A and B are shown apart, each in its own frame.
Chain A
């Protein structure tokens, strides 16, 4: 019998992605494709005002419409009236007051989407319109718009000598607009009531168990009476961390005693999920003549919108990473997330690090200019290394190849002059520019992102591995949102057990314990760690079984890679499996973290990942139009587990960051979203995407399973700031705001 040391499709290989072919062929069922016979269609009545008191709410005309099975409002919520990711401050339905445009007030279930739409129109709501609070910087001094107050969280980090200063001081103010996750699959799901009153909810989400707990609390049902099943997810990027239609659909199904499907339309989606926080910054950097950073001062306000969502955690990140991946002994940081009547903001890929990166990297460029120093050299001079202290006092114990990332990004060849064709120039198909009107510029930016949850939020991931008949099955509630964990989990099992055939079973909340959220670049580490741990326990159980079968003591049987070694034989693990299936469930923990103290000091993070981006842009300065030509990157990944999936994360994140630099912005005026469509919320097309060249720095992370760091977020953090720096280089425009609008360049 042939014995292979390693099963095909293990770690580091281009293992085939199990959901790849169905997705490419259009056979994959997304949550909006869900269907069951006899289902009703749910729709949501939403506030047309950013701030108003509800004077009257009368749903009886809607109930009178033929085909309408249920109409629910706050009065029908049997359990908790509020939900929320961290703090339950958001009403299931607004009762007395609405706090943002799009806030749910009622929901209906009807036999047809059109009937449901008419039912919404029939509901009578009378409002007393109130003055909306739309200026984040005025929030703290404004009359509270919510019982929890207008300041969601203020984080202070103070460290080192407050009198420290340097030879050179640079100061700047910066602003970042509101980015949207802009996933293609709208918020959607299907709630199916069972005979015993329990509910199966199939939904596109990032964290089934958190959804289950929030739905159960609002419906006043035990958690085991709500079974969350992950439906096909059409992108997430943080926007599916918060509950959207989960409670509404479940309650409608409970009341109507029929399956209820909900699927938002695109304009509804733009007010139906949280966005990336818009933010304003003031920063002052002090440095010596040789470029050594001496002190950094930061004041920043993040607009959290009407409800908290994950603002407390986002602002914690913003504070901890506001200096960037640089060593500095003295800091004075104040970061505040406030409540306004703007759309609620929460998690988006990069989670606070994106906003701060634009500000600290703009400052580093200002500083380099002031010192007459090469901006690359300035960054290398101050780059964090293993053993350095962060502003929180935490010592950086893991891999920190910041300088290597910068050098790798810079080492890629510069692009050639753009081809002499109109689609390759700024303005593209609009034919605005000829070659003589174009100027080229180059910019560099570097980012830092924590991996996993932080500040004492010590979460876990559970998984089950079963081995039977030569097939391994992973049961996990880790939400596959497109990132490819389904492949990684299979690779890990192959690596540990040497079994080639591995099935990934996306398990419901009734089958396995929580995997935690697919966010914070954590699933490869956490659920990957759980799958590895379970696989190793399965291997140990096989060894035990071999010992029992062969009449050996446990000490006489050992493992050599995926081979069972006895005094007389070497047997591949897969062939040593006993007749009885082996199934082991386990829970993985990361190293514990601690909350920050009142000076913002503490070991708040598990691990960090770094990336640097160099952007080359062509700009038409007269019109302010930009074509990003090339972005090169060096990224700290620990270890490459799947080269193509890694590149996919890097290319996607880089372009999403570039989108924030030059076009992606939710325009909010007086609390109203002015562009809730893909006609006017512009995402980069293939004609806008640059050439991307990536180098992966493989310095294994000591605590991480297989040494691998999460890779999803670092690509989005510094790519945008690098693009803005490149536009500055091409034009000389100061550009203190991201996204850069054509007028910012053309009219100054």
Chain B
């Protein structure tokens, strides 16, 4: 057996054996193995893609939530402001109403007072007239008796009247 001369027997068996090995391994080992590997790789890739999609969706959802929250906040502020305005307006209105009513009452009171005053004055006038009549009557009666006394009486009455 020489070192650099290929032996025919070895070439024959090597070719036969290697082709057989190739056939068996390709059919029963490499094909299923490569298919399984590919399947696994694609499943991993899909899982990664799904995770990526989920992450994106989460981010979108979060952004949307934040947007909604911001909108809600804005709306709340608007509502609060409106409520504040409304309450302010109500208070203002109430105040205005109250002052108006107060003024009205004062006006009414004033009118009543005026009426009473007028009535009182009328009464006073009536009374004065009555008294005057009475005085006049008395004077007339006294005048009939004594002139001097009449005079005195008139003076006295006048004095009295002044005192009153």
B and A form one assembly: no
Q: Give B contacts to A, CB under 8 Å.
A: none
Q: Give A contacts to B, CB under 8 Å.
A: none
